[in-house]
Structure 1
Amino acid sequence: MAETNGTAFDIVVLGGGSGGYAAALRAAQLGKTVALIEADKVGGTCLHQGCIPTKALLHAAELADNAREGAHYGVHTTLDHVDINGVNEYKASVIGRLYKGLQGLIKSRKITVIEGYGRLVAPDAVEVNGQRITGQHIVLGTGSYARSLPGLEIGGRIVTSDQALQLDWIPKSVVVLGGGVIGSEFASVWKSFGADVTIVEALPHLVANEDEALSKAFERAFRKRGINFSLGVRFAGATQDENGVHVTLEDGKTFDADLLLVAVGRGPRTADLGYEEQGLTLDRGFVITNERLHTGVGDIYAVGDIVPGLQLAHRGFAQGIFVAEEIAGLNPQAIVESGIPRVTYSEPEVASVGLTEAKARETYGTDGVETLEYNLGGNGKSQILGTTGFVKLVRQKDGPVVGIHMIGARVGELIGEGQLIVNWEAYPEDVAGLVHAHPTQNEALGEAHLALAGKPLHAHN
């Protein structure tokens, strides 16, 4: 092992987010000496500015909706107001407990944490705080940042998700620029908190990466909730003053609101980190790797949001574990991107895994695919919860299920079984033989597969 300044490790991980700390934890578990370099806090965007805080807000939003709707269930409740400071305290407490637990886990596995901005300076070295840290293997996991648009300056009443999570006030009106996962989740929160919300999306649908049937159902649900949206139209500009924001679209429409949320996606955090200087291949800022997540330079790997593909924390976890096991010589199975589950945690939730119908027909031919939709109206637990939606199955004709797509309250909790079905290439007949507990929403997956296998119980042929 190369040594510089007397500091050398088996593995040096640059970035302590989902992918980075997962690689560090698994590598340490496998007996490797590990240095984890992080400029801010271990846990990264997911724990501190993404997954966890937004879902805490969404849970508070769900409670607000429940309070408004209690009379429908015979429980007469009223919503006095949403105390955003109390919500933020609850959010911070959740983050704090998880952060403390993660710190303890890292310490227990004897991982050396180095705080500071690291820069790749050689195929086997990262420089941080003026010190050169070397390792036989380097794992890059520097994460992502909230994008903006050219000419649109973030500040004041124009915010990204980073600033939105820190607000100590609830806007009365919001324009959300971007109808993907992040924009839709914040739109859902603010509507539940009492704001007037308008989403602007340049693509033809909200959550446009999902199966078109889900996108259309999602739009109907948001419209029913009173969330407004303009689709297929581009943003033109925005001005702000002390009273609010004035937003203009290319079709001439204008909106005035208290706040503009810019939710146009996340960019890879790779600039000025020495990646290109060391010979790594970058495409639009993303680090290009092979299917084993190797960069093609030395013993350098990349994981998480800097690698092209789904920018999801659980993808980062899986890649971090994979790389640690690859370095340890365990020859793990390569990660199949289409088998990674996706969830939008709004009201209603959207959850999916595998191929959309359009992608499946592109892959197997127009006549090589079968689909089925099972309406949650036939599911007892969904009726109890008062939710609507459906489960859509996409099957290779006379073959396995290649895609599962769901919309409805809490359907994100069903995607675990969905990913097993898709990743294990199960046939509908295989799943139809499994007994699902009644009454559960999980039962809807079983019913859908029964129907696709030609023996529906609570659904029509």
Structure 2
Amino acid sequence: MADTNGTAFDIVVLGAGSGGYAAALRAAQLGKNVALIEADKVGGTCLHNGCIPTKALLHAAELADNAREGAHFGVHSTLDRIDMGGVNQYKDTVIGGLYKGLQGLIKSRKITVVEGHGKLVGQNAVQVGDTTYTGDHVILATGSYARSLPGLEIGGRVITSDQALTLDFVPKSAIILGGGVIGSEFASVWKSFGADVTIIEALPHLVPNEDVALSKAFERAFRKRGIAFNLGVRFQGVTQNDNGVHVTLEDGKSFDADLLLVAVGRGPRTSGVGYEEQGITLDRGFVITDEKLHTGVGNIWAVGDIVPGLQLAHRGFAQGIFVAEQIAGLNPQPIVESGIPRVTYSHPEVASVGLTEAAAKEVHGEDAVETLEYNLAGNGKSKILDTQGFIKLVRQKDGPVVGVHMIGDRVGELIGEGQLIVNWEAYPEDVASLIHAHPTQNEALGEAHLALAGKPLHAHN
């Protein structure tokens, strides 16, 4: 418990992003005295430079598309211009409201917030400036940063998502290096805002971590929107001047644009914070832990983007809660990575949970997996929304559903039921017996399971 100087705690959390503040909130709820150390703002990347601001931009982009395409629905409107000052004001208002609410919540739980750069200086000690904070347990949650490629310097017209989120103009043209979640979301935003967009991806598909059927459908949708992409080719170099950037690829192709957005993933923020000096094992900068997120050193734990695996805010939340409950002696169930839902919030959206078809065949055997695709063309609400896509289910033959994969506008809102199906190891017959409201897109999940259970309603045998 706290000493007279207020520097000794039950738990010291280094980093106040999704994983760190979730750990602090849950630990305080369980009666622990917690110090939460943060060099910037509580809320971390997700709240200030990631999930929340990008989704605000994507909502503004959806409104731009609606204004431009309203005549299709009998609503005639014109899109005069994109006012990035107004868009950014809306984005910042959303962030500000959530930030204020988080600060109030942390204060109400009586968590001690320490502002400054923290460094692990012992197995139970974190130093901030001239002050050392000790804890019976230490939770490492220092998050991640926008990576670049070796030799590719960020600056000027070569930017990362950090700078892209604060642009006060819409680029006339943009090249995006990386076709994963971040690159695809910015491509979607800028195209809706009127920019010419080209994506360069070294792997064979866009959103390459998804089931290949979704990746191919996503590529068709982007192609239809006029978003260009080059797949399976590596970036070679870039030059820039006052007018823009000139990008060359290893296959000899070259492109010119106003900006180059580098969206090649995020790296763990573990340099210069004392981890290795205290015996913490790092692999390519990531903190190695056991399945209970313990580092193997003293009472030191790690959560969030610094732990190998999916770099998602909701994964960080879950890990933070999990570690706090372990420390409090509640013995929670370890987190299964494949059971974590994943969403790309572009137009169209991609949402998935569980194993892809290829991964399921690796785990269960080539002949032990069954799949089904349900086209959203048969779903009334999707028809009303004028969205195209499908739901793909992956199951063990005569066994539970092990993967739910979806593409189409707003399907991210369906992934909640999908993750229940996968995590509770439901059989198609179990889901088929549930009644889904009509007309909803959620109903498509029910119909897909009806079909997989051998009794399709609005789908052919």
| Distance in 1, Cα, partners of 2:150 & 2:122 | 33
| Distance in 1, Cα, partners of 2:5 & 2:338 | 44
| Counterpart mapping for 1:30-179 below 5 A | 30-179=30-179
**Structure 1 residue 345 corresponds to structure 2 residue 382:** no
**Structure 1 residue 431 corresponds to structure 2 residue 431:** yes
SS at match of 2:148: coil
- Please list every run of 5 or more consecutive structure 2 residues that lacks an aligned counterpart in the other structure: none
| Distance in 2, Cα, partners of 1:385 & 1:277 | 55
Per the TM alignment, residue 148 of structure 1 is displaced from its structure 2 partner at its CA by 0.4
- Is the Cα contact below 8 Å between 1:401 and 1:422 reproduced in 2? yes
The one-character-per-residue Cα deviations of 1:31-76 (angstroms, maximum 9, x if unpaired) are: 0000000000000000000000000000000000000110000000
- Is the Cα contact below 8 Å between 1:5 and 1:131 reproduced in 2? no
The one-character-per-residue Cα deviations of 1:61-94 (angstroms, maximum 9, x if unpaired) are: 0000000110000000110011000000000000
| Distance in 2, Cα, partners of 1:445 & 1:25 | 34
The one-character-per-residue Cα deviations of 1:111-146 (angstroms, maximum 9, x if unpaired) are: 000000000000000000210000000000000000
| Counterpart mapping for 1:1-400 below 5 A | 7-400=7-400
Runs of 4+ aligned residues of structure 1 deviating over 4 Å after TM superposition are: 1-6
Query: 1:333 is aligned with what amino acid?
Result: Q
Distance change >3 Å, CA 2–CA 80, structure 1 → 2: closer
| Distance in 1, Cα, partners of 2:3 & 2:439 | 61
| Distance in 2, Cα, partners of 1:3 & 1:215 | 55
| Distance in 1, Cα, partners of 2:212 & 2:344 | 15
Query: 2:269 is aligned with what amino acid?
Result: R
Query: 1:95 is aligned with what amino acid?
Result: I
- Is the Cα contact below 8 Å between 1:2 and 1:136 reproduced in 2? no
Query: 1:317 is aligned with what amino acid?
Result: F
Query: 1:250 is aligned with what amino acid?
Result: E
Per the TM alignment, residue 2 of structure 1 is displaced from its structure 2 partner at its CA by 9.6
| Distance in 2, Cα, partners of 1:4 & 1:246 | 60
- Is the Cα contact below 8 Å between 1:4 and 1:133 reproduced in 2? no
- Is the Cα contact below 8 Å between 1:369 and 1:394 reproduced in 2? yes
| Distance in 2, Cα, partners of 1:2 & 1:83 | 51
| Distance in 2, Cα, partners of 1:64 & 1:130 | 51
Query: 1:303 is aligned with what amino acid?
Result: V
- Is the Cα contact below 8 Å between 2:2 and 2:33 reproduced in 1? no
- Please list every run of 5 or more consecutive structure 1 residues that lacks an aligned counterpart in the other structure: none
| Distance in 1, Cα, partners of 2:129 & 2:414 | 45
Per the TM alignment, residue 255 of structure 1 is displaced from its structure 2 partner at its CA by 0.4
Query: 2:59 is aligned with what amino acid?
Result: H
| Distance in 2, Cα, partners of 1:93 & 1:2 | 36
Per the TM alignment, residue 7 of structure 1 is displaced from its structure 2 partner at its CA by 1.5
- Is the Cα contact below 8 Å between 2:14 and 2:139 reproduced in 1? yes
Query: 2:66 is aligned with what amino acid?
Result: N
- Is the Cα contact below 8 Å between 2:243 and 2:258 reproduced in 1? yes
| Distance in 2, Cα, partners of 1:423 & 1:100 | 34
| Distance in 2, Cα, partners of 1:186 & 1:452 | 35
Query: 2:38 is aligned with what amino acid?
Result: E
Query: 2:452 is aligned with what amino acid?
Result: L
The one-character-per-residue Cα deviations of 1:267-324 (angstroms, maximum 9, x if unpaired) are: 0000011000000100000000000000000000000000000000000000000000
Query: 1:382 is aligned with what amino acid?
Result: S
Per the TM alignment, residue 336 of structure 1 is displaced from its structure 2 partner at its CA by 0.3
SS at match of 2:210: coil
Identical counterparts, % of pairs: 84
| Distance in 1, Cα, partners of 2:202 & 2:356 | 21
| Distance in 1, Cα, partners of 2:415 & 2:225 | 24
Distance change >3 Å, CA 382–CA 2, structure 1 → 2: closer
Query: 1:380 is aligned with what amino acid?
Result: G
| Distance in 1, Cα, partners of 2:444 & 2:83 | 36
**TM-score of the superposed pair, with normalisation by structure 2:** 0.99
SS at match of 2:278: coil
- Is the Cα contact below 8 Å between 1:15 and 1:142 reproduced in 2? yes
SS at match of 2:350: strand
Per the TM alignment, residue 150 of structure 1 is displaced from its structure 2 partner at its CA by 1.1
| Distance in 2, Cα, partners of 1:176 & 1:449 | 37
Q: Give the total of aligned pairs.
A: 461
| Distance in 2, Cα, partners of 1:152 & 1:300 | 35
Per the TM alignment, residue 3 of structure 1 is displaced from its structure 2 partner at its CA by 6.4
SS at match of 2:277: coil
SS at match of 1:371: strand
- Is the Cα contact below 8 Å between 1:2 and 1:134 reproduced in 2? no
- Is the Cα contact below 8 Å between 1:239 and 1:246 reproduced in 2? yes
Query: 1:453 is aligned with what amino acid?
Result: A
Query: 1:239 is aligned with what amino acid?
Result: T
SS at match of 1:114: strand
SS at match of 1:381: helix
Query: 2:32 is aligned with what amino acid?
Result: K
- Is the Cα contact below 8 Å between 2:13 and 2:138 reproduced in 1? yes
SS at match of 1:277: helix
SS at match of 1:136: strand
| Distance in 1, Cα, partners of 2:155 & 2:49 | 17
| Distance in 2, Cα, partners of 1:139 & 1:361 | 37
Q: CA RMSD in A?
A: 0.9
